[in-house]
Amino acid sequence: MVMKTSARLQLPILILALTLLYACRCPTVTKSTTLPESNPQTEGFSSEGMITFLDSLANSKHGFHSIIILRHGNVIAKGWVKKHG
């Protein structure tokens, strides 16, 4: 009975060990991890269209609590519902 228990643990331990070894090989992020910000017009996006889209989300049946919109790698809109954040 003891042999079956330890044999059952060998695979998860092996998977954990391989995951840790792989994680150690990944380079550490040394530069800033914040996303650059811009405005919708600079990125070729209509502010009016953005407002219309966000209004439709707010009035939808879906429970959004936060949103971030990126265009060309730049944050052009972000926000969250006060009760969630």
At 18-35, the pLDDT tens digits run 676 666 665 665 666 788
* pLDDT category of residue 55 using cuts at 50, 70 and 90: confident
Parallel/antiparallel/unpaired status of strands 66-71 and 74-80: antiparallel
pLDDT interval class at 61 (50, 70, 90): confident
Q: What's the rounded Cα separation, in Å, for the pair 10 and 30? A: 35
Domain, as residue range, for 79: 2-84
Number of domains in the chain: 1
Burial class (CB in 10 A: 0-12, 13-18, 19+), 76: buried
Whether residue 3 is predicted with pLDDT greater than 50 in this model: the reply is no
pLDDT reported for residue 22:
67
Q: What is the mean pLDDT of residues 47-67?
A: 82
